[in-house]
Amino acid sequence: MVPVTPERFAKLNYHLSRRQPDLTVLAENVHKTHNIAAILRTADAVGIFGIHAVSETGEFRHHHIVSGGSKKWVRLTLHDNIDQAVSDLKDDGFCVLAAHPGESACDYRDFDYTQKTALLMGAELDGVTSRALELADEQVVVPMEGMVASLNVSVAAALILYEARRQREEAGMYEECRLPADVYTRTLFEWAYPELAHRCRQKGRQYPRLSEDGDMLENPLNDP
């Protein structure tokens, strides 16, 4: 096991402290590899703590970025169907915001993203399903001047999420940690020592306490 350097630990602390637990994405049957990758990277870039997905054919679950790189920085919750996903998010207080060019949709820049927001993005070809639209609270649209009907799903998600980031930055929502203390401590260890964290979970061991520089204060795998 390679110890984390103080510089690396400080960087992890900084980015984790700016994570937004009340901004998320709900991807409904997005399945193309480059779109999954782009949505995950954008979520990380704007400081989203975790995203949600309905993936009936399993692409999100098995995507190499989900099983590897980006999952380390952005948590993924998978749902069996859109009804369950929306119900879980609403029970947690989220406004489910569908990206869809409907008659009731407002310009994406006019929505207040400082509230607890779940951005619902639909599949590449068909967009948000009719059932998902029934369940959504509101709709937003990205204005377009050209002949094409819509933007690529990952491009649209990036535009909307960066507007959300702009509003939240102006509101000072990145200036102090907004994660619960226990979630922050647990996630910080998992970011700093992912392999050891995995072994701790396998053995049912608690994560060890860390020093201010990221050193472990005890070995969690030592037998008592």
* pLDDT tens string 138-176: 999 999 888 777 789 999 999 999 999 999 999 999 999
> What's the length of the chain?
224
Q: Per-residue pLDDT tens for 46-83? A: 999 999 999 776 666 665 555 445 568 999 999 989 99
* Phi/psi at 76 (5° precision): -125, 125
Q: What would the CATH number be for the domain defined by 20-170?
A: 3.40.1280.10
Q: Per-residue pLDDT tens for 18-45? A: 999 999 999 998 988 888 889 999 999 9
Contact 141, 119 (CB under 8 A): no
Q: Per-residue pLDDT tens for 92-139? A: 999 999 999 888 999 999 999 999 999 999 987 788 999 999 999 999
Model confidence at 219, in pLDDT bands (50, 70, 90)? confident
Domain limits, the chain: 1-18+177-215, 20-170
Quote the CA–CA distance of 5 and 2 in Å, as a whole number. Answer: 9
Quote the CA–CA distance of 158 and 114 in Å, as a whole number. Answer: 17
Quote the CA–CA distance of 175 and 14 in Å, as a whole number. Answer: 10
